[in-house]
Structure 1
Amino acid sequence: MHKRTALVLGGTSGIGRGIAQSFAAHGAEVTITSRDPDRAARTAESIGAAGTPSASGIGLDLCRPEQVADTLLRHGRSFDVVVLNGPGYRPGRISTATSDDFASAYGSMFLSLQQVVSAVVDGMKSQQWGRLLYVSSSSVIAPIDELAVSSVIRSAVNSYLKLLANELAPEGITVNSIIPGRIDTPRVNAVDAARARERGIDADEVRKGAESRIPVGRYGTPEDVGELAAFLCSGRADYLTGSAFRCDGGMTTAL
C-alpha cells in the first residue's frame, strides 16, 4: 500500500483503529474520521508517531448523512482506498424496535456510507483504480437477537455493495466486505454486557462461553482484522470483488 491514500471511517478505536494502524504500517497515507475532530487528530498523531507515513484526522458525523458528502468534498482530497466502518445501532431485540429506531439506523448505517461512496468514487474512476471495503458483521450470516435493528440494516448495505461491485469492476475498483467475529472492541464488550444483564450473570462468564465456541480459543484483535483489510485493499487483491471475507477464528459454523 506504499503511498496509497486511505480514508478509514471511525478510525479512532476498535476495528477502525486496527485497520488504520495496519494501513499505515504497510505504507499508506491514512486519514481517519471521528465525530470528534480533536479525537481524530490525536489518534492520527499517535498512528503517525510509529515511523509511518503521514496520518491525519478529520471530523465526520455519520449520524448526519445529509452533511457527509459535503464534508468530504470540502476536505479536498481524493482517496485510493476507503474503509466503510460505520456505527452500529444500540442493542435491542426486534420486539422492542420502533419505526424511529429503523429510520435512525438507516440514516447512520446506510445513507451515510452511500454518501461517502458518492463523494469518493469519481476520483477512483478517474485513475481506474480503487478499493471500497465495508466492515460488516456476522449478523449478515445469522441475525443477532440482541442486535436486531443493526442486523436488518446491514443486510441492506450488503445488497447495495454487491450491486456496486458489479458496476464498478470495469473501472478497476473493487468492493468487498470483512465479516468480523468476536473481536475485542468496546462494541462487542457492550453486547456481552447486555447479554449478561439479560441472563443475570457476569460479563466474564458470557465471554468465556463465547471463547469456548471459537476454535482458536480467543476473541480476535483489531489488528487481526487490520491485516486482512490491508491485503484486500492492496494491489495483490485485484481479482477479488463483490465478496465477504470472515475474520472470526473459525467461529461461524456454516460453510
Structure 2
Amino acid sequence: SNVFRTGIVGLTKSLAKEFGKYNILVNVVGAGKISTKRVDQIDSIKADKANIPLKEYQDKNANLIPLKRYGDPQELGKLVTFLCSEANTYITGQNILVEGGMVSAY
C-alpha cells in the first residue's frame, strides 16, 4: 500500500509536468480517516477482532489523530471541489492530505 501511494505521488508529478503545457492541472488528494459507512464497516471488523465496541475502537483511533476526530466527508469534498473549480488555476503536481494532521497517511 505504501509503495502504491508513493507511485501515485510520483505519477502525479510526472503528469503535471507533461500536461502543464496544455494548462491541465493534476493533483492527488490523500484521505485519512473520513467518517463514511465504509470506514464504519472496516472499523467494525477491526473492533470485533479486538473484542471491543465499535465506539471504543473509533474513539481510540480518533485520539491518535492530532485533531482528535475523524474527518467529515464535506471537508474532503470542499477541497476536491476547489481543485476542480475555475478558482484553481495554479495548483498542480501536489499531494494534498486531508487527514487531520496524521502525517503517516502518506
TM-score (norm 1): 0.37
CA distance, structure 2, for counterparts of residue 162 and residue 184 of structure 1? 29
State the distance in 1 between where 2:83 and 2:37 align: 25
Distance 2:41 2:5 in 1: 19
Please list every run of 5 or more consecutive structure 2 residues that lacks an aligned counterpart in the other structure.
none
Q: Which has the higher helix share?
A: 2
Q: Does 1:221 align with 2:72?
A: yes
Q: Give, in angstroms, the shift of residue 198 of structure 1.
A: 2.7
Work out whether 1:168 is the aligned partner of 2:44: no
Structure 1: which amino acid aligns with 2:32?
A: G
Corresponding position of 2:44: 193
Aligned residue for 2:96? Answer: 245
Distance 2:39 2:84 in 1: 25
Distance 2:98 2:4 in 1: 21
Tell which structure's C-alpha radius of gyration is larger: 1
Matches within 5 A, 1:86-235: 143=2, 152-235=3-86
Show CA shifts across 1:185-214 (max 9, x none).
122112212321332222222100011122
Which digits, 9 at most, give the CA deviation of each residue in 1:65-94, with x for residues without a partner?
A: xxxxxxxxxxxxxxxxxxxxxxxxxxxxxx
Instruction: Read off the aligned partner of 2:50 and give its amino acid letter.
Output: R
Inter-partner Cα distance in structure 2 for 1:253 and 1:167: 28
Aligned-partner Cα distance in 1 for 2:41–2:13:
30
1:221 maps to amino acid: D
- Structure of greater relative contact order (alpha carbons < 8 Å, 6+ residues apart): 2
More strand by share: 1
SS in 1 for 2:70: coil
TM-score normalized by structure 2? 0.81
1:155 CA drift (Å) = 4.1
Aligned residue in 2 for 1:89:
none
- 8 Å CA contact 2:31–2:97 kept in 1: the answer is yes
Q: Tell whether the 8 Å contact from 2:9 to 2:95 is kept in structure 1 after alignment.
A: no
1:41-77: CA deviations, max 9, x gaps?
A: xxxxxxxxxxxxxxxxxxxxxxxxxxxxxxxxxxxxx
Contact 2:35 2:72 in 1 (8 A): yes
